[in-house]
Amino acid sequence: MTIGLIINPKARTYHHSKRVRKSLDKLSIYAETEFLEDFDTLSQIIARLTQKDCDHLVISGGDGTIQAVLTHLAEGNHFQHQPTLILLPHGTTNMTAKDASIASLSKSDRLITAIVDRGVSDLPSNLPCEIVKRHTIRIANPGSGAPLHGMYFGWGAVHRAVLKCQKDVHAMGFRGDLGPALTLLASWVSHLLGRSGSDPDRIVQGGDLCLVADGKTRADSQQLLLSITTLEHLIANSRPFWNQSENTLKTTLIAYPVQKPLRMLIPALYGDKRRKTTEPGYDSFSARQLSFQTTTDCILDGEIVIPPENEPLQLSLGPQFSFLKL
């Protein structure tokens, strides 16, 4: 079997960890290796790996790197058979890798050692690998023009929390799940204590949202946030969605003003997909197509998405990919 390896050398963990670089050096001997120095070269990289007919594609980077690769794979007619993806958690945030593929650096090291020693098709039995499948979220008409694919989309408080995390929390050295989790927790506590005040940049505030899901208006009022994902778990292993069916966009809305914020914090973050009802102001459902109009930026896998002018942003369930999970 042929293994393709895409390394983002600017990814934080790769850049700062000698251990990670040493581990990838071992793997690169057995893989068709490409360094993603510039995202403008990704099309050429994918084309070269397509010629090698790779059965497995290893991606070393964070959520932004994975999003870029998924977009190219989903929108282009590349591999005759889509390779199984192996996501190594080597970025600043690694939510997609932790849910769908490799959850930690220690597991990454173990998997690479196993591949080098035995190959992908004969992994040792002491590594409980499995193949899982995840759809993408497809954004048909971002302001940048070309469609985008990712695994997590956020609007409202989600967008503001990510920006604040990147600006303040990451600058303090907190990385991975811890940074976004601390940002959200701090903003929630400030709101509960009445300390968020009238700061225009505060995370907990409302915005007008008219959301159409599968042709039906689902919300037309002030909302705190809109959260959409095809993953099973998000930061800190949270599951902020319920009342779900398989192979759909898991969609959650929280209205503003926030109702019963203290009592609903844990139920909203760690939802039960079998739950059919919840408190007013907390709505979670499945959909295959979503649209809404906004003048504020959104977030796709930690990257800013600029909405189109004078038309609703269109989201739909994208293609399904296979991932090797350990």
Q: Are residues 77 and 177 in the same domain?
A: no
CATH of the domain at 183: 2.60.200.40
**pLDDT value of position 87:** 98
pLDDT at residue 41 in the model: 96
Q: Which of 81, 102, 135 is the last residue of a domain?
A: 135
Look at the block and give the residue holding tokens 């408190």.
279
Whole-number Å distance between alpha carbons of 47 and 26? 24
In a domain, 271, yes or no: yes
Residues 244 and 179 in one domain: yes
Per the domain annotation, does 14 fall within a domain? yes
CATH number for the domain that contains residue 15: 3.40.50.10330
Helix runs in 165-226, H state only: 178-192
State the total domains in the chain.
2
Q: Please report the pLDDT score of residue 139 as a whole number.
A: 98
Of the pLDDT bands very low, low, confident and very high (cuts 50, 70, 90), residue 173 is low
* pLDDT for 23: 93
Residues 131, 22, single domain; the answer is: yes
Do residues 125 and 189 both lie within one domain? no
Residues 20 and 91 in one domain: yes
Higher pLDDT, 218 or 122: 218
The pLDDT, as a whole number, for residue 243 is 82
94 band by pLDDT with thresholds 50, 70 and 90: very high
What torsion, rounded to 10 degrees, do the Cα atoms 182, 185, 188, 190 define?
-60
Give the per-residue pLDDT at 191.
66
Continuous segment of H or E residues that includes residue 22: helix 18-28
Q: Is the pTM of this model over 0.75?
A: yes
The sign one gets for the Cα dihedral 293, 299, 324, 118 is positive
User: Residue type for 4, please?
Assistant: G
Read off the DSSP letter of residue 195.
-
pLDDT, averaged across the chain: 88
Which of 101, 135, 169 is the last residue in one of the domains? 135
Q: 147 lies in a domain? A: no
Q: Which domain holds residue 215?
A: 152-300
Residues 125 and 208 both lie in one domain: no
